Amino acid sequence: MTTSSENQELVVVTGASTGMGAATAHELARRGFHVLAGVRREADGEAIRTAGVEPFILDITDPEHVAALPSLVGNRTLRAVVNNAGVGGIGPVEVLPLDDWRRIFEVNLFGHIAVTKTLTPSLVRSRGRIVNISSLNGKFAMAGYGSYSASKFALEATSDALRQELTPHGVHVVVIEPGGVKTAMAGHGPAGVDHVAGKMTRDQSARYGGLLHAIPGHVAAFTAAGVTSEVAARTIARAVTDRRPRTRYTIGRPAAVLTRLTRILPDRALDRLAAADLGRHYPSA
């Protein structure tokens, strides 16, 4: 006798092509869920397809893709939506073009809001939960990462509002705050730096050249010290399955420590901490 996905609780995972998203889809399938795994390309879907993982094409910034989600879910029990899709953002606030800011917010914030709004009726019916993948950078901003941090700070605030709005209706809203995770996104750092450096004026190069030199090394070191996607996926799966989930889960020791420090240290002390962390990667001259 075959087991039909119609008899399994569903979880929708966005950004499931690689990294944490793919690992989370497989971890949840291992725990008995049927996972609708949103990917950008057919080849990505075939790479992650396995028992319990059903890939489908999803660009969370495409209104037609988002509008199709309720029909994919149908009348099945939707246990959770894991809003994991995301893009990085590197560059000083003065330099990064506004179009880049808009693209980052379209993916890291507005796309998640669109998915959440569309699937909220299904989640209310099933008393499910929303799991938003934020970041340590959603609590702790650093020079050169302003656009990415801003999008994650905004996601944190949106999650707090959602939690207050939906808790009375039986829907849990959970935020995940990873520190370093060994994913493919970290490899995009040098390309992002080149993109920004090519747009700087001579004066801007004098102001930010050292910072842009430091960022790729900082990203590489932070990622190398991080956890694997599989370890991160187990925490995300806990957020989906814990009977009484916490409002926030951190992933990795740096995230646990730094999110606590943001609550007790004054701003200037946090500035010095961030500057010292980046300073190790500046040119020596």
The residues pairing with 173 across neighbouring beta strands, listed in sequence order, are 130
| Structural domain harbouring 155 | 5-279
Q: Is 212 part of a structural domain of the chain? A: yes
The residues pairing with 274 across neighbouring beta strands, listed in sequence order, are none
148 is catalytic: yes
Integer Cα distance of 264 and 284 in angstroms = 32
CA 151 to chain CA centroid, Å, is: 10
Q: Is 16 part of a structural domain of the chain? A: yes
Q: Which of 148, 208, 249, 282 is catalytic?
A: 148
Integer Cα distance of 137 and 130 in angstroms = 20
pTM of the predicted model as reported, rounded to 2 decimal places: 0.93
Count structural domains, the chain. Answer: 1
Q: Is 264 part of a structural domain of the chain? A: yes
Q: Is 284 part of a structural domain of the chain? A: no
- Residue 254, CB-side half-sphere exposure with 13 Å CA sphere: 18
DSSP 281: T
Q: Is 27 part of a structural domain of the chain? A: yes
Q: Is 155 part of a structural domain of the chain? A: yes
Render pLDDT for 213-223 as a digit per residue (tens, 0 to 9). Answer: 999 999 999 99
The helix/strand/coil state of 182 is strand
Q: Look-up: residue for tokens 């008995």? A: 32
Torsion of CA 206, 192, 60, 141, to 10 degrees: -50
Q: What is the DSSP string of 195-240?
A: HHHTT--HHHHHHHHHHHHHHHHHHHHHHHTSEEHHHHHHHHHHHH
Render pLDDT for 68-125 as a digit per residue (tens, 0 to 9). Answer: 999 999 999 999 999 999 999 999 999 999 999 999 999 999 999 999 999 999 999 9
Q: Is 98 part of a structural domain of the chain? A: yes
Q: Is 268 part of a structural domain of the chain? A: yes
The CATH number covering residue 47 comes to: 3.40.50.720
pLDDT at 235 over 80: yes
